């Protein structure tokens, strides 16, 4: 396996992510931030964070498959949420749990932002993958 997840005892025990992911694979894949737009550009779940998070993970899945990878190969994700509030974390976690491996999650960062590329977008997620 080209990934070694490390959670040092000197830092808090993480839930749903790993503090450190060492990747030793030979191919790096960088997936641009995915938003809740379908193949035609139509917005899925306008105004609904849960629906948008679901679509974002579907888009990530399609991008991973196109590169010959899976969510198990994701080493780092960064999530951007418009006007982030602490209660949004549970909504996002629900979508993450359907896709990311619970036993070996990637390193992860969640960032609250003022806005994304279009006002309809509530969430955007980018990924770094090593295979």
For 95-115, what is each residue's pLDDT tens digit? 999 999 989 899 999 999 999
Domains parsed from the chain with CATH numbers: 25-130 (3.30.1330.40)
Cα(2)–Cα(13) distance, integer angstroms: 23
Q: Could you tell me what percent of the chain has a pLDDT over 90?
A: 76
Contact present, 37 and 43 (Cβ < 8 Å): yes
Residue 4 to residue 35: CA distance in whole angstroms: 29
Q: How confident is the model at residue 87 (pLDDT cuts 50, 70, 90)?
A: very high
| Contacts with 38 (C-beta within 8 Å, 6 or more apart), sequence order | 44, 55
- 124 close to 93: Cβ distance less than 8 angstroms: no
* pTM confidence score: 0.89
Which tens digit of pLDDT belongs to each residue from 8-50?
A: 888 888 888 888 888 787 899 999 999 999 999 999 999 999 9
Q: State yes or no: pLDDT of 79 exceeds 90.
A: yes
pLDDT, residue 1, reads: 55
For strand 123-130 and strand 74-82, is the pairing parallel, antiparallel, or unpaired?
antiparallel
DSSP strands (E only) in the chain: 3-6, 20-23, 28-34, 74-82, 107-113, 123-130
Residue 6: pLDDT over 60 = yes
* Structure tokens belonging to residue 91: 């909504």
């Amino acid at each position: 396996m080209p990934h070694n997840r490390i959670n040092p005892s000197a830092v808090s025990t993480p839930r749903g992510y790993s503090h450190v992911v060492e990747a030793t694979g030979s191919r790096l894949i960088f997936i641009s931030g995915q938003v809740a737009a379908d193949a035609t550009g139509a917005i899925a779940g306008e105004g609904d964070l849960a629906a948008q998070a679901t679509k974002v993970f579907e888009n990530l899945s399609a991008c991973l498959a196109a590169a010959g990878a899976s969510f198990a190969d994701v080493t780092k994700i960064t999530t951007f949420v418009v006007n982030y509030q602490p209660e949004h974390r549970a909504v996002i976690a629900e979508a993450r749990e359907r896709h990311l491996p619970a036993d070996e999650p990637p390193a992860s960062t969640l960032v609250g932002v003022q806005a994304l590329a279009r006002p309809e977008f509530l969430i955007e997620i980018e990924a770094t993958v090593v295979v």
